[in-house]
Amino acid sequence: MLTSLYVLINTGYYEIKYTMQKKCRAEIQETIEKGPITFMNLVGNVECVSETVDVFVKELKNQGVIAERKSKFRILYCPKIQLEKIEFFELMLTPTIKSIILLMMKTSEISQLELEEILSKSRPSISRSLKILVENELIEKVYYAPKMTYRIKNKQKLVSWMKVTHPKIVDRMSDGLTEMFM
């Protein structure tokens, strides 16, 4: 009698555990398919411990369902997303670069000094971020003797990338999208 009760409880425990793991795996896959996400944000968004998330991420990666890019951040994404969008997502993980891009989306041209003042960031931080953005061909330098300004090369392209990589930002910006393209 006691043994059968133990088997019944034990079986019920494993059924619940299996159901929870199945739900966790599905939630991880669904979250990653919505758009690129860092591993730490994924752990925060799903109701599973980080060890379980890591196990399922490896499993999904081995099956080719998701892809991973490791650099400063561990980025998980759907393999159908173009690499340039993932690189853009990675750039936007840097707070200064993200602030510059979002501010430049609202302006036609802006100088480094204006960026420093508006964003309250140091000159080296702004300079380094601008250099990275120019190297990645997201912005371009515009020379007006004696000063220089910066502008986004292709705002429509960035907005289309942001729809994939940062849909919440695009939703919040939707009221001002028309002014961005002027």
- Same domain for 105 and 130, yes or no, is yes
Instruction: Read off the tokens for 177.
Output: 């999208």
Verify cis geometry, omega within 30 degrees of 0, for the bond prior to 124: no
- 21-31 per-position pLDDT tens digit: 788 999 999 99
Share of the chain above pLDDT 70, in %: 85
Number of domains in the chain: 2
Contact 100, 127 (CB under 8 A): no
Task: Give the span between the Cα atoms of 88 and 161, in whole angstroms.
Answer: 8
At residue 178, the pLDDT reads 45
Residue-range definition of the domain harbouring residue 154: 87-180
Question: Which of 64, 81, 98 is the last residue in one of the domains?
Answer: 81
SS3 153: coil
- Same domain for 147 and 77, yes or no, is no
At residue 122, the pLDDT reads 94
State pTM to two decimals: 0.81
| Whole-number average pLDDT of the chain | 86
- Same domain for 55 and 139, yes or no, is no
- 92-131 per-position pLDDT tens digit: 999 999 999 999 999 989 999 999 999 999 999 999 999 9
Verify cis geometry, omega within 30 degrees of 0, for the bond prior to 146: yes
